[in-house]
Chain A
Amino acid sequence: MTAETVQEKEVGRARARKEDARLVTGQTNWTDNIQLPGLVHIAFLRSPLAHARITRADTSRAREATGVIAVFTGADLAAEQGSLPCAWPVTPDIVIPQHPPMAVDTVRYAGEIVAAVVARDRYAAADALEAIDVDYEELPPVLDMEEALAEGSPKVHEQGNKSFVWPFSNGDIEAAFRDAPVVLERTYRQQRLIPSAMEPRAVVCAPVGDEFTLWSATQIPHVLRVMLALVTGIPEHKLRVIAPDVGGGFGSKLQVTAEEVLALLIARRLGRPVKWTESRSEGNLAVHHGRDQIQRIRVAAGADGRLRGLDVDLLADMGAYLMLVTPGVPLLGAFMYNAIYKMDAYSFRCTGVFTTKTPTDAYRGAGRPEATFAIERVMDDLAAELGMDPLALRERNWIKHTEFPYTTIAGLTYDSGNYEAATAAARELFHYDELRKEAAERAAAGDPVRLGIGISTFTEMCGLAPSRILGQLAYGAGGWEHASIRMLPTGKVEAVTGSSAHGQGHETAWSQIVADELGVPFEDVRVLHGDTFVAPKGMDTYGSRSLTVGGIAVVAACGKVREKARVIAAGLLEVSPDDLEWSSGRWQVRGDPDQGKTIGEIALATFAAHNLPEGVEPSLDSDATYDPDNFSFPHGTHLCAAEVDTETGAVRLRSYVAVDDVGQVVNPLIVEGQVHGGIAQGIAQALFEEAAYDSSGTLVTATLADYLVPSAADLPAFVTSRTATPSTTNPLGVKGVGEAGTIASTPAVVNAIVDALRPLGVPDVPMPCTPERVWRAIREGAAR
């Protein structure tokens, strides 16, 4: 191929996103913008207590209030509300407690719904909430995972506080640790986080007869439709779910929520359309939270730094109930602790624990950031213990680029990668050696502002997921994705995708793919998604799966259209299909390229259907469902330089270099955006964010004044670059980028802080590394 034809390709172009004008101006159907005749508004009363029995709920005053149409308690809906689904029963003996969308007799976290008001407007609904009298008999809160598992702890559920224990091991772990020259043991805490999507959750539900349309700010319209049908008994074919434009999710909208179920049930009861939109503080309480794990990690190594074994014992806070994939989140990490390293043995154990806190579930990276943090932190500590350069230690242990495909100790087969190349590039951009020198000089001079360098050579598994593997892990569904292509008579293209975008830019990326596959202009492609009547099949968007699974389905659907077009073109040109070759959007006669038909001409001829070959249906559409053979494994090397003011504990990130390898890139602008946002979100965990509870189980970070989401002003300018090692598991060679930055950056930052402070006797700083925590760690280091 010449350089010129490469230039013409859409894939690889930094196209500005075609969906942005409407998203950025807000001139679109966000769920809360939807207005319907007769629409009424729901407000939910939420438990102020972490754990209590409801002894009385008196709604009589609220019912009388102006503008109020109806008031419901859990008791009112008990017969029909069912239990919110958990689709990932990770072990046969897992405890999955009943989870009524509205509490009936017991509340188990502050924020759990205890009543709903329906009123003519939001003001009347909110006023009426204050007129509901609920009496509670307080029960002891269960807030600490270790205490929850101890004998005699108060119980969250009758069945106890343990949901499951999930073990995995490979290799002889005892042998690996026996007589090992170096053994390190560390405990890390993954604090609880609140996914803070720009758009709060919102639901609108409209009944017409016994049919329902439900709009929701969701990542998963398809999964939601199936689940709502199962939970409510409303037949699936009478239920249409629409995810209109959705303003971010980060996993928080990968959920079947109480509010969605209740909106549907209330709309059914009242026979009129209802709307609910949460406030930010309501969201902080009730959106599922992320992370919250205690990780005990042990590593055994030789004196030369070669890893022998890794042993991980994890406590994962489920919160009060199991939501859609709650128990599966730590399992997604189980296969990632070994990361890019070779070792002889690995053992992993995860205990799922109930507490009286908001349920946890997937949050950007889901299990993988936690795992990556622990291994990358411990690698830095191991290097310090051995007196080795931490990059050299990693290099000693990582899989060499010549060794791919490589089956890891956790049993995954990494298809491709080049850790050497990414690390070399990062090292150079970062000026690694100069910064190391400066850090040493500052330490030697006793400078009150120390410099530290943090490293994260991460990988992750993307493209969830081969259905076969999901089945082995007891997940309740498959991991395929669907696409269809509809050629319109005028040569324009509708690409229907089951990947339901919520800000990622699918419309642009998919248009680029279709443009190349069908040889049509980028502008001629319209991408349709997010409505179960328009895009009837799909597994939706999460786990960096859209491009690696959904994008490949689009490629396959284009291929089918092309093949059918070939048959039709052959008929039109009166040659055999075998005599035709495809050349940029056109089937032409081999050896006689003037003779040919463009895909547009073929589409028009198909529409007219005057002279189609015998037995060919008059349509130029296709359906394709793609189930991946394997995950994909993006990787990268992130380096962070942090300055720590030892007098105040303040941390300033001085520079941040990210070299990511996400395989082939469809749109570099989109990739850059995902990397930037991802790094920011990972830094947020390292330095700023924490969902904190007081000793009574009240969330004390219920507003954005207390739950600190950083802004651009708090972050350094990121230096980003890429290496491109194509994935060998899919025809586009793509790997996925949605979570990479988040997974990589948290350990890079904390490693930098600890690197700066290690000479002061500081072995670790708990996250988020707030100035006070850093200051205390320094004081404790001095006392040591």
Chain B
Amino acid sequence: MIPARFDYVRPGSVEDAVRALAGGGDDARVIAGGQSLLPLLRLRLAFPDLLVDVGGLSELRGVRETAGSLEIGALTTIYELTRDPLLTAHCGLLAETATLIADPAVRHRATIGGALAHADPAGDLPAVVLALGGSLLIRGPEGEREVRAGDFFTDYMTTSLSPGELLVAVRVPRLGGDWGFRYEKFRLTAQSWAIVGVAAVARRSNGHVAEARIGLTNMGSVPVRATAAESAAAGAEASAAALREAGSRADEGTSPPSDLRGSADYRRHLARVLTGRALAAAAGAS
């Protein structure tokens, strides 16, 4: 890798990290696992003056249980998400999705905080956290604030993080046993990004879907909720046919990109088909 010149600090505490970031202003960048940032540096698409390496902040690593929710430290690696017992038990959607990201080498370095802060609309975790109704804990010079996922992703690869702020944790609800989940990732090769991804959680009651939440990957410049499909699914029979019908409204209100991987109309089609399948799986429909 032959990046342009930059300065580098490796703070020993969250406070020092925030101070270093605030001092660096617009030209400072956090580096966590480096799996998104290093390619940008290598291709000379990013020119930060200062890298603040948060890799040493072990307090930001791991999953904790709090009242009704789980708090995932920003430095928890994607690999750790795949096998964390709390996540596996209470937030299977995150654990399952993590297994579908990149390859083992990348998963061992990449962090959940980096994946969310990077806010790539083709990234899988933003739509998942959105579907879960999660929120993000952010530490800045002024202290800590909590932002709902729906308010965090503001534009293409842009978040509500200000210069000087550090994402410290992700909070997701503990889902009870009546919730099912599924992430449908449609990609060209096992290690490539989603053309479209559908994250669905559904609560089943008496053979029907009582409630469903759906997040879409790569159907716009930010991850989006498929609200029309969610309403259509609510109260629907938990059958493949009924949920396919609900899924057919998944692309309403989206504006998917057209690129090398797929045209916008193909993405719309995929979103509809995959949402039907994700809902059916989440609702345990046969």
Query: Which A residues are within 8 Å of any B CB, using their own CB?
Result: 122-123, 126-127, 130, 279, 281, 647-648, 650, 688, 692, 700-701, 703, 705-706, 708-711, 713-714, 770-772, 775-776
Please determine whether B186 and A123 come into contact, CB atoms closer than 8 angstroms.
Answer: no
In the assembled complex, B183 has its CB within 8 A of some CB on chain A: no
6 A-B pairs with least C-beta separation? A713-B190, A126-B2, A772-B266, A714-B189, A647-B273, A708-B189
Contact of A708 among B2, B186, B188 (CB under 8 A): B188
- Looking at chain B, what size class is its interface with the partner chain? 20 to 34
Given the interface pairs A127-B4, A127-B5, the reply to whether A771 lies near B192 with Cβ below 8 Å is no
Q: Specify which chain A residues have a CB less than 8 angstroms from the CB of B189 in the assembled complex.
A: 688, 708-711, 713-714
Please determine whether B190 and A706 come into contact, CB atoms closer than 8 angstroms.
Answer: no
Please determine whether B188 and A692 come into contact, CB atoms closer than 8 angstroms.
Answer: no
Contact of B2 among A122, A688, A771 (CB under 8 A): A122
Q: 19 A–B contact pairs at CB < 8 A?
A: A122-B2, A123-B5, A127-B5, A647-B273, A648-B186, A648-B270, A700-B260, A701-B260, A705-B39, A705-B192, A708-B189, A711-B191, A714-B189, A771-B186, A771-B188, A771-B195, A772-B262, A772-B266, A775-B266
Q: Specify which chain A residues have a CB less than 8 angstroms from the CB of B263 in the assembled complex.
A: 772
Apart from A703-B43, A713-B190, A771-B195: 19 A-B pairs, beta carbons within 8 A: A123-B5, A126-B44, A127-B5, A281-B43, A648-B270, A648-B274, A688-B188, A700-B260, A708-B189, A708-B192, A709-B189, A710-B189, A711-B103, A713-B189, A714-B190, A770-B188, A771-B186, A771-B188, A772-B266
Please determine whether B269 and A692 come into contact, CB atoms closer than 8 angstroms.
Answer: no
Q: Specify which chain A residues have a CB less than 8 angstroms from the CB of B260 in the assembled complex.
A: 692, 700-701, 706
Secondary structure dominating the interface of B: loop
In the assembled complex, B193 has its CB within 8 A of some CB on chain A: yes
Q: Report how far A647 CA is from B44 CA in the complex, Å.
A: 40
Please determine whether A279 and B2 come into contact, CB atoms closer than 8 angstroms.
Answer: yes
Q: Specify which chain B residues have a CB less than 8 angstroms from the CB of A710 in the assembled complex.
A: 189
Nearest A residue to B196 by beta-carbon distance? A648
Please determine whether B186 and A650 come into contact, CB atoms closer than 8 angstroms.
Answer: yes
Q: Specify which chain B residues have a CB less than 8 angstroms from the CB of A711 in the assembled complex.
A: 103, 189-191
Closest approach, in angstroms, between the C-beta of B60 and any C-beta of chain A?
Answer: 28
Please determine whether B191 and A713 come into contact, CB atoms closer than 8 angstroms.
Answer: yes
Q: Specify which chain B residues have a CB less than 8 angstroms from the CB of A709 in the assembled complex.
A: 189
Nearest B residue to A702 by beta-carbon distance? B43
Mark B27-40 against chain A: 1 for CB-CB distance below 8 A, else 0: 00000000000010
Q: Specify which chain A residues have a CB less than 8 angstroms from the CB of B270 in the assembled complex.
A: 648
Mark B243-281 against chain A: 1 for CB-CB distance below 8 A, else 0: 000000000000000001011001001100110000000
Q: Report how far A130 CA is from B47 CA in the complex, Å.
A: 13
Closest approach, in angstroms, between the C-beta of A588 and any C-beta of chain B?
Answer: 58
Q: Specify which chain A residues have a CB less than 8 angstroms from the CB of B191 in the assembled complex.
A: 711, 713
Q: Report how far A688 CA is from B190 CA in the complex, Å.
A: 11
Q: Report how far A772 CA is from B260 CA in the complex, Å.
A: 10
Closest approach, in angstroms, between the C-beta of A609 and any C-beta of chain B?
Answer: 57
Q: Specify which chain A residues have a CB less than 8 angstroms from the CB of B186 in the assembled complex.
A: 648, 650, 771
Q: Specify which chain B residues have a CB less than 8 angstroms from the CB of A650 in the assembled complex.
A: 186
Q: Specify which chain B residues have a CB less than 8 angstroms from the CB of A771 in the assembled complex.
A: 186, 188, 195
Please determine whether B4 and A648 come into contact, CB atoms closer than 8 angstroms.
Answer: no
**B residues 196-225 with Cβ under 8 Å of A?**
none
Q: Specify which chain A residues have a CB less than 8 angstroms from the CB of B4 in the assembled complex.
A: 126-127
Q: Report how far A650 CA is from B263 CA in the complex, Å.
A: 15
Q: Report how far A382 CA is from B99 CA in the complex, Å.
A: 44
Closest approach, in angstroms, between the C-beta of A717 and any C-beta of chain B?
Answer: 15
Contact of B273 among A279, A648, A688, A770 (CB under 8 A): A648
Nearest A residue to B2 by beta-carbon distance? A126
Q: Specify which chain B residues have a CB less than 8 angstroms from the CB of A714 in the assembled complex.
A: 189-190
Q: Report how far A688 CA is from B42 CA in the complex, Å.
A: 25
Q: Report how far A53 CA is from B35 CA in the complex, Å.
A: 39
Q: Specify which chain A residues have a CB less than 8 angstroms from the CB of B43 in the assembled complex.
A: 281, 703
Closest approach, in angstroms, between the C-beta of A695 and any C-beta of chain B?
Answer: 13
Please determine whether A775 and B2 come into contact, CB atoms closer than 8 angstroms.
Answer: no
Nearest B residue to A700 by beta-carbon distance? B260
**B residues 7-51 with Cβ under 8 Å of A?**
39, 42-44
Interface hub of A130, A281, A701, A714 (most chain B Cβ within 10 A): A714
Given the interface pairs A700-B260, A775-B266, the reply to whether A123 lies near B190 with Cβ below 8 Å is no
Q: Report how far A648 CA is from B195 CA in the complex, Å.
A: 12
Q: Specify which chain A residues have a CB less than 8 angstroms from the CB of B192 in the assembled complex.
A: 705, 708
Q: Report how far A470 CA is from B222 CA in the complex, Å.
A: 59
Closest approach, in angstroms, between the C-beta of A758 and any C-beta of chain B?
Answer: 22
Please determine whether B193 and A705 come into contact, CB atoms closer than 8 angstroms.
Answer: yes
Q: Specify which chain B residues have a CB less than 8 angstroms from the CB of A126 in the assembled complex.
A: 2, 4, 44
**B residues 96-119 with Cβ under 8 Å of A?**
103
Q: Report how far A711 CA is from B263 CA in the complex, Å.
A: 25
Q: Specify which chain A residues have a CB less than 8 angstroms from the CB of B2 in the assembled complex.
A: 122-123, 126, 279
Nearest B residue to A779 by beta-carbon distance? B269
Q: Report how far A681 CA is from B4 CA in the complex, Å.
A: 35
Q: Specify which chain B residues have a CB less than 8 angstroms from the CB of A688 in the assembled complex.
A: 188-189
Please determine whether B269 and A775 come into contact, CB atoms closer than 8 angstroms.
Answer: yes
Closest approach, in angstroms, between the C-beta of A125 and any C-beta of chain B?
Answer: 8
Mark B179-190 against chain A: 1 for CB-CB distance below 8 A, else 0: 000000010111
Q: Report how far A342 CA is from B43 CA in the complex, Å.
A: 53
Q: Report how far A515 CA is from B276 CA in the complex, Å.
A: 64
Closest approach, in angstroms, between the C-beta of A195 and any C-beta of chain B?
Answer: 18
Closest approach, in angstroms, between the C-beta of A676 and any C-beta of chain B?
Answer: 17
Q: Specify which chain A residues have a CB less than 8 angstroms from the CB of B190 in the assembled complex.
A: 711, 713-714
Nearest A residue to B274 by beta-carbon distance? A648
Nearest A residue to B4 by beta-carbon distance? A127
Nearest A residue to B263 by beta-carbon distance? A772
Closest approach, in angstroms, between the C-beta of A708 and any C-beta of chain B?
Answer: 5
Nearest A residue to B103 by beta-carbon distance? A711
Q: Report how far A701 CA is from B5 CA in the complex, Å.
A: 27
Q: Report how far A655 CA is from B191 CA in the complex, Å.
A: 21
Q: Report how far A63 CA is from B5 CA in the complex, Å.
A: 18
Closest approach, in angstroms, between the C-beta of B62 and any C-beta of chain A?
Answer: 28
Q: Specify which chain B residues have a CB less than 8 angstroms from the CB of A703 in the assembled complex.
A: 43
Q: Specify which chain B residues have a CB less than 8 angstroms from the CB of A770 in the assembled complex.
A: 188
Q: Report how far A127 CA is from B103 CA in the complex, Å.
A: 32
Q: Specify which chain B residues have a CB less than 8 angstroms from the CB of A700 in the assembled complex.
A: 260
Q: Report how far A743 CA is from B262 CA in the complex, Å.
A: 28
Closest approach, in angstroms, between the C-beta of A201 and any C-beta of chain B?
Answer: 16
Q: Specify which chain B residues have a CB less than 8 angstroms from the CB of A647 in the assembled complex.
A: 273
Closest approach, in angstroms, between the C-beta of A605 and any C-beta of chain B?
Answer: 56
Q: Report how far A710 CA is from B187 CA in the complex, Å.
A: 12
Q: Report how far A708 CA is from B190 CA in the complex, Å.
A: 10
Q: Report how far A216 CA is from B269 CA in the complex, Å.
A: 49
Q: Specify which chain A residues have a CB less than 8 angstroms from the CB of B274 in the assembled complex.
A: 648
Q: Report how far A296 CA is from B201 CA in the complex, Å.
A: 51
Q: Report how far A711 CA is from B187 CA in the complex, Å.
A: 13
Nearest B residue to A710 by beta-carbon distance? B189
Q: Report how far A442 CA is from B276 CA in the complex, Å.
A: 22
Q: Specify which chain B residues have a CB less than 8 angstroms from the CB of A775 in the assembled complex.
A: 266, 269
Q: Report how far A341 CA is from B186 CA in the complex, Å.
A: 41
Q: Specify which chain A residues have a CB less than 8 angstroms from the CB of B44 in the assembled complex.
A: 126, 130
Nearest B residue to A43 by beta-carbon distance? B2
Nearest A residue to B266 by beta-carbon distance? A772
